[in-house]
Every structure is written in C-alpha cells, then in structure tokens.
Structure 1
Amino acid sequence: MMNPTTSKKTNIFLRISETFKSYLRTGVEKATTPEEKRNIYNINLLNIVTSTLILTIGFGYYTIAPKIYLIIPVIVEGILFGLIPLINKFGTVRLANNITYYLHCICACYFGCILGIVIEIQLLIAFFIMAALTSLFTQEPTDRIIYIACSIATLIAMEINYYYNIIPALDLTRDQSFIFRWAAMFGILTLIIMVFRLYDKRTTESHQKLTLADEAKTEFVRTISHEIRVPLNSILQVSTILEREVKNNPELEHLHPFIKTLYSSAFLTKGIVNNVLSLAAIEEGKLHTIDNREFNLKRTLGNVIDMNHNATSAKRVTIKLQYDENMPSVILGDELKITQVFNNILINAIKYTQPKTSIKVNVEQTEHQWILSICDKGPGMTPEQVAAIEREQSFNTTASDLKIEGTGLGLFIATKLINLLNGNYKIVSSPGSGTTFIIDFPLNIPASNPATDEKSAITLNLYGYRTLVVEDDPLSTMLLKYFLGSLGADVYTASNTSEGIMSANKYKPHIILVDGCLPKVGDGENTIRAIRSNPAFEKTMIIGVPGNAFEPDINSLLTAGANACCPKPISHRDLEQILYAFTENYQEA
C-alpha cells in the first residue's frame, strides 16, 4: 500500500508537471493551422528553457562574483523570458517572437560587455543568426532581415565596447573566469542543440508531409486516369467500329461527319490524359529512359498524320509531308517518344491553323542530324509565349478569331521529351504570321543501313484463330468481341481470373487479352502468370490491357508473362499491329 506522504508528493509532482505542460501550450489555442501551433509551442519552449538557464547559471555566477549589477539583470531577464508565453496568449504571436529575439540581443550585448573576453558571446550571436535563418522565430522575410541586422549590430556594439572599454568588464580571477566560461558555453550550446532539434523535427515533418502529398497525388492521377480511360476506351472503340461500318455501308454515309467528330474528340481526350501522365512523371523526376531501336521514320510520321485525319478533315486542313530523298527511312531512335513529340506539336498546329489551309511537315538530313519542321498558318505566338516555351514553362494561349483557348501543355511535354532525346528546337513565330517548330535530333543509322523498310497496308485475317478476352467491364468485353470477331476470330470471354484460367484450359486460345485491372488487385498479373506457367500456352500470344499507361503497370504485366501491352483506351490500329506481327511469326513457326 502506498504511503500517504509519498502519494501526496506524487500528486504535487503531477500537478506541477501538468501546469508546466499547460504553460508550454499557452497561446496555442489561438492558432488556426498545425504549423502555427507548432511554432507557438516551440517559441514557448525556447523561452522557458532560456529563462531556466539564465536563472540557474546567473545565480551560479552570483555565488562566485556577488555583484549587484550582475544578479539584477539576471533576475529581470529570467522573469521576462519566462513571461513571454503570456504574450502569445494576450497579444500576437509575431509580437512574442519579436520580443524574444530582441530581448536575446539586448541581454547578449549587456553580458557580453560586462564579462568581456571571458565568454565567447559571439557563439550566442551565431545562434541568433542561425535561429533567424532556420525560421525558428518567424517566416516573414522582413522580420528575418531585421533579426539578422540586430544580431550583427549587437556583435559590433560588443566589439566597440571591448575596444574602448565603455562599460568596464568584471574583474575575475583565473578560476572564476574558467567557471564562468564553461557555464556560459554549456548554456549557449544547449540553446544551439535545442534549435537544431526543433529545426530537424520540423524538417522531418515537412518531408513526411511532402512524401504523403506526393503519394496522394500519384494515387489521384492513377485513379483519375483509370476512371477516365474506362469510358474513353468504350467511346474510342465504338467510334472506330462505327467508322468501319460506315465505310462498308454507303447508306450510312450521312453519319460519317458525326462519327469523325466523335473519334477526333475521343482521340484528343486520350492525348490529354497521356500528357497529364507525362507531366506527373516529369514532376516526379521519372521520365522514362531512352529506348533506341530500328524503326521506319517515314511510316511513323505518316501514322501520326493518319491518326489526326479526322481532326484535319473537320477543319478541311491538308497536311503535306515532304521527306528528303537522302534521308534514310529506317533509323535508330525511340519511336514512342518521337511519336509523342510529333503528335503533340502536330495537334497544336491543327488546333490553331486557319481552316482550309495546309500544314507543312518537312524532314531533311544534315551530316549528323535529322531535322523535323512543322509549319502552320495559325495566329502565331507572342515573344512572351515563345520565351515561356523556351524556359520550359506551360502557358495560356488564346486564338480569339478561332475561338480557341489552350494551356500549352502539349508543347511543354514535347520540349521535355526533345531534351530527353538529346535534341534541340527553335520556334519561329510572330502574331499573325503562323508558327514554325523546328527540331533537330541526332541521326543514328543502323549498321545494315537498309534503304527502305516499307510495308503494304496491314490486312489482318484472324480466321482460324481462337481468342479469349478476360475483361470485367461488360461494354469493353462486347466491343473487343465485336472487333476481333469482325476480323474472323472465334472469340470467348471471361470476367475474372478463375473464369479466365478455366476458359483458357477449355478452349486453348491462340490469343488472350487480359485486363490489367480485374476485380482484385494484381489479378491481371496473376491471371497472366497462371496461364503462362502452363506449358500448353508457351506459344500463346498474351496481350496485357492495363487500365492506364503508367510504366510500372505495363512492366508488371510484361514481367508476369505478357508478350505485349495495349493500354486503355485501346487503339484498334495499335492492337492490329500487335496481332499482325503475331500472326506472321505464328505462321512462320
């Protein structure tokens, strides 16, 4: 059983502890943000610790050198520092911070003068400057400048007093000087360590907040990307299917302009979504590495022009591609990024050029470079807008005569990719004279240096091929089934991993399309991994269909065993290219 006296002492200590904690939080209730609360608490803590150090060390000094002009300032200073938290409660936080700093400077100046060279008071001044720079007292730039100026003025005042002996220093013995010196050093170092700890704690908290904010942003972009791509996937596929049906049925020709508009809008939205993802990757410092491979440049540029056919038709704009006959068709480079660059600039040119005009695309060769130029007949750009692009900043653009507004995001992404590809660009533009975007890239020619790599248009025939679509979205499943069926394939469907594996074992498909975002996390990977682990599907073409174009999601499906990926919204052109390459190799095998 606890002794009543011990219990009473414990209660007293608890009350003292609670009172001390409550006093530390004086004025915190006035704060409106966690940052303000933390700053008020830190200043209160600093003042109470300073008050304790001054009174403790000051009375220690008095026992060694009992001078009235030493102990009275110690008591006054100790009390003032101890009462500053009340200013946080009844006054303003800024006032409390200012009084704290100026009081430190006044006391440092006084004791620096009367103690002379016994104490390296310069250390305390260094502490003041450090505290100001680390924003311990304030984050107001003006206040910080004043604080640093006061610290320097204090240091100058002490040096002047030392030189002219305006205020005589204490006459101390060697032993007294030694004790004074080390006691003061202890107090000053305690304050410095305290500031470092508070600053380090705040920096750690800020870093954690930034990390959480970055993770939240990435998750937000992923979620929004997926949510947009799912309906966009259906719109793009429906418009593609309708366009094919209209071409094959003259009676539906009157619907062609509407379908073209639908496809163009969906394709433009896809580009915007991809640009948002690219911008997120740029901000995270995660631009993809360069993937240099052989590709047919002329055909790649032609494909981009074809992809924008509906947009040019709607404005009755003609794109003229002039390809230097000395320029090789097949080069080494990152086809995907070059496509992104050209597509973003071309979309911008189509968007702003005047109706019933032409856009000139020119490709020519120099000794070690190839040059791509895109010239439109739009309203042009102001020098400020050109400068913004060259500074790699996005900007707002307006073409009032065309009733068009934009953010310049596409050009911003393009310039980032140009730099990544070790290219350079120049913009020739002025208001009313159109814009010419000139880009030069390093010219790398394959060792074999083939003269041409032209192929005839793809004619994909899937008659005799069994395909399996593992997709949880019914509309996407229906559209893929219709598209693959129109190419002659026998199409089977499944909506989850277990159904997908069962159907694969039952029908032994030649081609399997697997959604990367099946109902459970990672089920797209698990489905591919399970199917690929069966030797019976060693030669089966597995195509991953991720819900977004994030590189980690694509790589995870490829690592699981997919032969290729076709992110949503699915481009039938891209899917046809993948299937065409498979059927050619499959027949050869």
Structure 2
Amino acid sequence: MKKLIQRILNAGTAEVGDSRARRSIVIINTLSLLTAFMVGLVSAFLYWYTHSLLILIPSILEMCCFAGVITLNHYRRHNAASVATLLIHCTFGIYFGSILGNAMPIELITAFLFTFLIGASFLVFKNLKVRLISMACAIFLIVAVQANDYFNIVQPMYMVPGIVPIVKMGCWIGMLALMAYVTFFIIRQNDMFLKENQQLLSALKEANAAKSKFLRETSHEIRTPLNAVFGIAQLLHSRKQQIDDPELQQDINYLYAASFLSREIINNVLDMAKIESGKYGEPVLEGISLRESVESCVALNRYVAATRKVRIQLAIDPTIPEYIQTDHIFITKIINNLLSNAVKFATPGSSVEVRFQQKDQQLYCYVKNEGHLRAEQLDKVFQPFEAERNSQVEGTGLGLQITRHLVELLGGKIVVENKGEQIQFRFHIPLKPAVAQLTETGSIMPRAGEFSGYKVLIIEDDLFSGHVIRKFLSEAGAETILADSGEEGLTLLEGTHPDLVITDSHLPGIQGKDVLTRVRAMPAFRHIPVIIASGDAFNEAREEMIQAGANDYLVKPFLYADLHKLLEKYLPARFKQVAG
C-alpha cells in the first residue's frame, strides 16, 4: 500500500531534473489524492445522512477529476494538471457551496478558498500571471457563493434540521484537514527555502573567501616581478636623454608606457574587488592643490600618450580656488582613469582635452577625445568588463566602473556623451575651498648624492626587486646592504646599524611581520624607520603591518616618486643639508 501511494505521489517526476519543478508535481499529486480521499470520506458521511444523489454523483465526478489530474502528470502534462486542479476546485466549490446552504457556512468557505486555493497556487504556480488568475478565481468564488446566499439563485437541497449540525461538522472536518495540509506545506516550503538560502549564503561566503585568497596570492605573485620590470623601466626612462639613439629612446618610452599601463590594470582589478566586497574606504577630505594634482596626472599619462602620438591639452579655470577640499587619492584615480581611457581610444595624432571649471559651487571636469559611441555603448560604458577594443589597445573595462564609484563616493555624478566627433566624459563634485596645507613634494628621481652618508638595509628575497631598489638608492648616494631572508636581515641589522630598513612582507623563513616585531623589540632599533615594500595590496595587510610598527607601506609595483617622498620623509636631516 505504501509503495502504491508513493508511486501515485511521484507520478510524472521520473524525467524531471529540476528539484523545484519535481516538488510542484508532487504537491499537485498529493493535493489531488488527499482532496479525492477527503471528498469521498465527507460525501459518504453526508450521503449516509441525506441519501441525496446531489451529493453522491458530483462527489464521484470530483474524485474522478482528481484522478485525471494525477493521470495528466503521469503523462507529463504538468501545466494542464495544474490548471485542471484550479478549475476542479472552482467548479465544485461553487456547486457544493450552493447546494449545502447553511450546512457550509460562508465564513468556512471564505477561509478555505483563501487558505487552500490561494496558498496552494503560490506553492504550485511559479508564473505571476497564473498566480493572479488563481487569486481572481478564489475571489470570484467567494463573490458567487455570497451572491447565491443572498439572492437564492440556486436553491440549496433540503435537509432535516436535525442533521444540519452533523453535515456542518463533516464539512468543517474535511475543509480544516485540507487547509491544515496546505498550511503544513507552506511552512515546510518556507523552511526549505530558508535552508537553501542559508546553504547558498554559506557557499557564496566560501566562494568569496576563495576568490579573495586567489586574488591576494595571484596579485602578490604578479606584482613582485612587475615591480622589477616597472623599476627598470623608470630607471631607463630617467636616463633616456643620455642616449643618442632616437630609436632606442622610443623603445624606452614604449617599455615605460606598457609597464605603467600594466600597473594600472592590476590596481583596477584590486579596486574592483574592494568595491564588490564593500571594503572600499570612505573618502578622507583634505586640502589639496587641484592644479598640482591634475598636472601630475597629466604628466604621467603624457608618457603613454607620446607612444601613440596623442597630445594632452589642459585648461583650468583661473577662478577655481587654488586649494580645494577633497580626497587626494580618489580625485587622482578619477583623473588618471579618465585620461588613460581617453588616451587609449583617441585617434593616433589627435588631441585629448582636459578642462576644469566651476559652476553653482560644483567643480566640473570635462575629458574629450576623438571618437563616437553608439547608443548601446553609452548605456554600458560604466559597466565592468564592457571595454571596447580597437586595433591598438585593449582593456579590462574596470577603470570607468571604478571611476563612477569614486565620483559617487565624493558626492558627485559622471556621464558620457557624444559631442559631434568627440566623446566627452563629464563629472562634477562639490567644490569646497580649502586653506593651503604643507605637503611633501618630491621629484621622480633623486639628485646625485642626495642621500649620501645614509645606510639603508634592504630585505628582499626577489633578486630583481632587490636589484632595482638598490640601484635607485645607490644612485642617490646611499650605502645599501641587501639581505635575501629575514634571518640574514636581522643579523645585518645588528652588524651594520642602518638609518632605514626597507623590507618585503613575504619572506622565506621569518616573515616581514616577524622581522618588524623583533626589530621593535630591540632597544637600539626601536625607533628606526621601517618601510614595508610588498606585493600584497589589500588594506588588511597594510593595517596589519602599520599596527605591528611599520612606519609606511609601499605597494608593488611602486612609482619611484612615491619611494623618493618616503626617503625625504624619513631621512630629512641629511636631505636638508644637501639641499641647503
């Protein structure tokens, strides 16, 4: 018997792969079987007392109809079975509600229709239109039964007054059983959805953690060798005027531009990961020189533009305050991304225009380059991985998505539009004048002998990165000591007493954090400046090192200008003597 019931309930599910669709079929079969059983039970009970064929024959027809629903599911006519279930309930609901009269109270019918028909429809039907039709049918049934009760359109069958309470009790028992079953299924379905959501949430958290770990490890592995390439490119670029071969000078320009773009792409991937995880920090407002910041961005991008024979033209409205209050890192990233995008997609030999003006206490920036975007491209340009390709360059499509996020964090808005034969990006942010602040400025390359007399310990296990840092410092006059492990670094520290330590965070044996902890535990070196130069670009890594006692944190591949600023910051006394 149990096997037979299981076969009936699972009729038509054998070739259905989707678990939710299979569950809906089982619900329809279960409702049909249970309803047929309850109809048979209640109708036998009512016929026993009334001996009326008006109850017996329609009840047999209803049971046959529900058997037909299971048959439809067996033959994989699942949609027809679902619709038939709804029609059968509507038809026989009106019929029995009319002929039983007071034996089936209006309140009971209303509760049954709302709980059974509407509840069951939401369990079974996934299409919104079908659900709405089911609700409309339930409401129609209620109105029809109410109208029949009021106008006596269909005369209820006669019952001996003494058996009306018994019939009413039978109707109550049958309908309550069906309502309890639907309610049970709704609760069970809800519990299953909650469980599935919890499992999905756990899986998403695990996947996100795995993605972050992969991104962190991959980023570090890529950044370390790229730091050497970019470092060598910067050294060659600073000396290209000493080379008489124009073709070699051009090759150096290409090398510098390619390595600079590679650095920007890696940084954009990391920024996008931070945005997706909600870990991108809030803006830190400070007084900055707008002209200095913009000119610095233009200078960096001019190297890349020169390789494509693209000119960058800058115009800043003289009425804009010299110092404004904004986030220096955010505004620099915004301008760099827009300039980089314009330079990449500008026609070779054309110009990129950058213009700043103020209006209604807003700072407006316009970046134009030759070209044209189709309507569908304008809609997608700020979406990630929607970069356009041309014959000269490719991109990830992340820069503009990051740019929009940063502009919005600063309280502004960015749009793109076609202006004749040009593409124009326009953004605006609140303009807040600020007082001049003392800033540490530094040139890209130090002067010869600028740091002579200083001794710098470099702890770096990557041969190439150690080489380029050592070469940069040596040309500035500093004496360098190179260690390729944490243990060797600590030994050389005590033997050489350097003025500054530059160490990687990932080292063989003793890690950079452990080196830092031991250095801070030595009374003689407790206050020695320590700079971490690491390929780990995540904020957590930076905060961990700063809390452990590091003075500053450089992310590979870094600009020599950034390293130069830190050298000026932590080796100030000797720098002032040389400068003065």
TM-score strictly above 0.5? yes
CA–CA distance in structure 2, aligned partners of residues 506 and 89 of structure 1: 86
User: What's 2:114 paired with?
Assistant: 126
Instruction: Determine if the alignment matches structure 1 residue 416 to structure 2 residue 405.
Output: yes
User: What's 1:10 paired with?
Assistant: none
Distance 1:41 1:467, change over 3 A: same
Alignment of 1:19-98 (within 5 A): 27-32=12-17, 36-45=18-27, 47-48=29-30, 51-52=33-34, 55=37, 59=41, 62-63=44-45, 66=48, 67=50, 69-70=54-55, 88=73, 90-98=75-83
1:198, distance to aligned residue in structure 2 (A): 0.5
1:382, distance to aligned residue in structure 2 (A): 4.1
Instruction: Determine if the alignment matches structure 1 residue 492 to structure 2 residue 479.
Output: no
Alignment of 1:12-23 (within 5 A): 16=2
Deviates more, 1:342-351 or 1:183-192: 183-192
| Structure 1 letter corresponding to 2:118 | I
- Normalising by structure 1, what TM-score? 0.78
User: What's 1:227 paired with?
Assistant: 218
Gaps of 5+ in 2: none
1:199, distance to aligned residue in structure 2 (A): 3.4
CA contact (8 A) 2:309 2:349 kept: yes
Instruction: Determine if the alignment matches structure 1 residue 256 to structure 2 residue 249.
Output: yes
CA contact (8 A) 1:382 1:430 kept: no
Distance 1:41 1:361, change over 3 A: closer
| Structure 1 letter corresponding to 2:372 | G
What secondary structure is seen at the aligned counterpart in 2 of 1:375?
Answer: strand
Taking only aligned residues, the RMSD between alpha carbons, in angstroms, comes to: 4.1
CA–CA distance in structure 2, aligned partners of residues 187 and 261 of structure 1: 77
Identity %: 24
CA–CA distance in structure 2, aligned partners of residues 257 and 21 of structure 1: 79
User: What's 1:354 paired with?
Assistant: 347
- Normalising by structure 2, what TM-score? 0.79
1:426, distance to aligned residue in structure 2 (A): 4.9
1:209 to 181, 200, 203: 200
CA contact (8 A) 2:410 2:429 kept: yes
Deviates more, 1:245-254 or 1:310-319: 245-254
Alignment of 1:325-336 (within 5 A): 325-336=318-329
| Structure 2 letter corresponding to 1:91 | R
1:347, distance to aligned residue in structure 2 (A): 1.0
| Structure 2 letter corresponding to 1:410 | G
What secondary structure is seen at the aligned counterpart in 1 of 2:571?
Answer: helix
| Structure 2 letter corresponding to 1:39 | A
CA contact (8 A) 2:10 2:25 kept: no
Distance 1:86 1:206, change over 3 A: farther
User: What's 2:429 paired with?
Assistant: 441
Distance 1:457 1:519, change over 3 A: closer
CA–CA distance in structure 2, aligned partners of residues 500 and 27 of structure 1: 72
User: What's 1:199 paired with?
Assistant: 190
What secondary structure is seen at the aligned counterpart in 1 of 2:429?
Answer: strand
1:426-479 deviation line (CA, Å, top 9, x unaligned): 5452352x1333333222333xx22886846366444423223254x4544444
What secondary structure is seen at the aligned counterpart in 2 of 1:308?
Answer: helix
CA–CA distance in structure 1, aligned partners of residues 97 and 5 of structure 2: 31
CA–CA distance in structure 1, aligned partners of residues 151 and 445 of structure 2: 99
CA contact (8 A) 1:364 1:371 kept: yes
2:436 to 434, 439, 450: 450
Instruction: Determine if the alignment matches structure 1 residue 304 to structure 2 residue 297.
Output: yes
CA–CA distance in structure 1, aligned partners of residues 208 and 236 of structure 2: 41
Instruction: Determine if the alignment matches structure 1 residue 573 to structure 2 residue 555.
Output: no
User: What's 2:537 paired with?
Assistant: 549
1:195, distance to aligned residue in structure 2 (A): 1.6
Alignment of 1:364-379 (within 5 A): 364-366=357-359, 368-376=361-369, 378-379=370-371
CA contact (8 A) 1:28 1:37 kept: no
User: What's 1:465 paired with?
Assistant: 455
Gaps of 5+ in 1: 1-14
User: What's 1:272 paired with?
Assistant: 265
User: What's 1:137 paired with?
Assistant: 124
CA–CA distance in structure 2, aligned partners of residues 42 and 501 of structure 1: 68
User: What's 1:237 paired with?
Assistant: 228
CA contact (8 A) 2:458 2:466 kept: no
What secondary structure is seen at the aligned counterpart in 1 of 2:105?
Answer: helix
CA–CA distance in structure 2, aligned partners of residues 83 and 545 of structure 1: 75
Distance 1:561 1:197, change over 3 A: farther
CA contact (8 A) 2:233 2:259 kept: no
Distance 1:164 1:499, change over 3 A: farther
Deviates more, 1:189-198 or 1:242-251: 242-251
CA–CA distance in structure 2, aligned partners of residues 505 and 581 of structure 1: 24
Instruction: Determine if the alignment matches structure 1 residue 558 to structure 2 residue 546.
Output: yes
CA–CA distance in structure 2, aligned partners of residues 206 and 437 of structure 1: 41
CA–CA distance in structure 2, aligned partners of residues 169 and 504 of structure 1: 104
CA contact (8 A) 1:467 1:512 kept: yes
CA contact (8 A) 1:516 1:546 kept: yes
1:370-424 deviation line (CA, Å, top 9, x unaligned): 3333233x113345544555xx546857587x66666754333212221110123
What secondary structure is seen at the aligned counterpart in 2 of 1:450?
Answer: coil
Distance 1:517 1:26, change over 3 A: farther
What secondary structure is seen at the aligned counterpart in 2 of 1:30?
Answer: coil
